[in-house]
């Protein structure tokens, strides 16, 4: 077994990015993700990389756009209000089909909101976020170990599919300290013949753009991109199932909400309630198949979210409203307690019996 080190979630992201070959980080300070920038500021100069504090979130994401155009692994990180500012750039990155990694350490909103954890940027993350038809692959770690592993995966997926990948996490996991193994597997580097690295007079010029004034061409670009998305939905959807086999009730939760939910599931099991957990690891693509399979068996769902109920809409779509889906939520930076979730599980179980 590989050696483990005790790290904060945000630091694990930063170190994993470096392990993944990222040497270009552009960011702007915002709580609760500043440890990523601070870590990069310390490490990058020592390994020949670039840490640059941009003048704004907007500039930072556009620096990522430039570095990604030039063919290197680049990333930025921020928290909810800052991610809103980056949406313009993310839309351009998606439109120009550039690989990039964006970390959103979510806090409670809207507006300036608070600095305590939230999951209310779910819609923004999984439905695109900026203007136009596009998706990001959205990964949701639930432990510091996963922060590291999914960061590496984010870079690999971004390069493989030439698209932005978001690590959607929150202030709690970012600040949490856990032992991490940094023995991380990185896919071998992808060739980038499309990158703008200078023609060296050996090829036609490469152009990175999201602009087409020819409607038929622009339509085709969108169709091609959505064909790629269909492939990703088929091949890259990730989720964890916990005690779902005999379950009458299944809790659906990601990130910090899934950690608390697991405790509640264990407590409910101790009471003899047959309950399980589905934890989406990718929220786009969303694990529709396992949820549809459970719905076909008549399993009730309880969504646990740090939002007014956003992922619940995707759960209802996945289950085609065939089974009752309830919501257990806290907002404003508050994490639901295992007891609150247990109550919701009991209520769902009661609903089944009624």
Residues making contact with another protein (CB under 8 A): 24, 26, 50, 52, 54-56, 58-60, 62-72, 74, 88-89, 92, 96, 196-202, 205-211
3-state secondary structure of 85: helix
Shortest CB 102 distance to another protein, Å: 14
Q: How many CA atoms lie within 13 A of 202 on its CB side?
A: 5
Task: Identify the H or E element spanning 285.
Answer: none
Nearest residue (CB) to another protein, 97 versus 314: 97
Shortest CB 64 distance to another protein, Å: 6
Shortest CB 282 distance to another protein, Å: 27
d(C-alpha 305, C-alpha 286), whole Å: 15
Shortest CB 211 distance to another protein, Å: 6
Using CA atoms, how far residue 133 sits from 87, 222, 241, in Å, is: 13, 7, 31
Nearest residue (CB) to another protein, 59 versus 180: 59
Nearest residue (CB) to another protein, 71 versus 164: 71
Question: Do 341 and 301 touch, CB atoms closer than 8 A?
Answer: no
Nearest residue (CB) to another protein, 23 versus 259: 23
Nearest residue (CB) to another protein, 201 versus 216: 201
String of DSSP letters for 156-178: HHHHHHTSEEEEEEEHHHHH-EE
Shortest CB 75 distance to another protein, Å: 11
Nearest residue (CB) to another protein, 93 versus 256: 93
CA 101 to chain centre: 10
Using CA atoms, how far residue 53 sits from 67, 134, 143, 180, 235, in Å, is: 14, 28, 27, 27, 36
CA-CA-CA-CA torsion sign (52, 59, 94, 11): positive
Phi first, then psi, for residue 344 (nearest 5°) are -65, -35
Phi first, then psi, for residue 284 (nearest 5°) are -135, 120
Nearest residue (CB) to another protein, 59 versus 253: 59
User: At how many degrees (to 10) do helices 338-353 and 255-270 cross?
Assistant: 60
| Nearest alpha-carbon partner for 20 in 116, 139, 147, 135 | 147
Nearest residue (CB) to another protein, 56 versus 220: 56
Nearest residue (CB) to another protein, 26 versus 286: 26
d(C-alpha 219, C-alpha 231), whole Å: 19
d(C-alpha 34, C-alpha 11), whole Å: 10
Shortest CB 207 distance to another protein, Å: 5
Shortest CB 212 distance to another protein, Å: 10
State both tokens at 207: 């152009």
Shortest CB 203 distance to another protein, Å: 9
Shortest CB 93 distance to another protein, Å: 10
Angle (nearest 5°) at CA 233 between 232 and 237: 95
Nearest residue (CB) to another protein, 181 versus 209: 209
Shortest CB 62 distance to another protein, Å: 4
């Amino acid at each position: 077994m590989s050696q483990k080190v005790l790290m904060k979630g945000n630091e694990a992201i930063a170190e994993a990015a470096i392990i993944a070959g990222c040497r270009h980080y552009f960011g702007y300070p915002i709580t609760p993700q500043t440890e990523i920038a601070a870590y990069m500021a310390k490490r990058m100069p020592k390994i020949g990389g670039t840490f640059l504090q941009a003048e704004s979130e907007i500039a930072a994401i556009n620096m990522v756009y430039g570095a990604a155009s030039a063919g290197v692994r680049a990333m930025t990180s921020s928290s909810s209000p800052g991610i809103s500012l980056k949406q313009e750039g993310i839309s351009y990155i998606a439109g120009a089909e550039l690989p990039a990694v964006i970390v959103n350490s979510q806090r409670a909103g809207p507006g300036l909101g608070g600095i305590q954890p939230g999951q209310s940027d779910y819609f923004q993350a999984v439905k695109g976020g900026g203007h136009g038809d596009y998706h990001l692959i959205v990964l949701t770690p639930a432990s510091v170990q996963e922060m590291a592993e999914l960061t590496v995966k984010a870079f690999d997926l971004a390069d493989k599919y030439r698209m932005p990948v978001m690590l959607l996490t929150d202030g709690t996991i970012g600040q949490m300290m856990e032992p991490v193994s940094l023995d991380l597997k990185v896919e071998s580097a992808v060739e980038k013949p499309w990158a703008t690295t200078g023609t060296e007079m050996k090829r036609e010029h490469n152009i990175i753009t999201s602009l087409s004034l020819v409607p038929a061409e622009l339509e085709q670009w969108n169709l091609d991109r959505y064909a790629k998305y269909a492939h990703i939905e088929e091949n890259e959807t990730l989720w964890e199932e916990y005690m779902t086999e005999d379950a009458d009730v299944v809790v659906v939760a990601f990130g910090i909400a899934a950690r608390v939910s697991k405790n509640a599931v264990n407590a409910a099991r101790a009471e003899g309630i047959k309950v399980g957990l589905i934890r989406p690891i990718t929220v786009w693509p969303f694990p529709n198949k396992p949820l549809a399979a459970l719905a076909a068996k008549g399993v009730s769902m309880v969504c646990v979210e740090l939002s007014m109920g956003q992922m619940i809409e995707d759960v209802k779509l996945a289950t085609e409203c065939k089974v009752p889906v309830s919501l257990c939520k806290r907002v404003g930076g508050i994490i639901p307690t295992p007891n609150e979730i247990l109550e919701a599980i009991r209520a769902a179980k009661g609903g089944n019996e009624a």
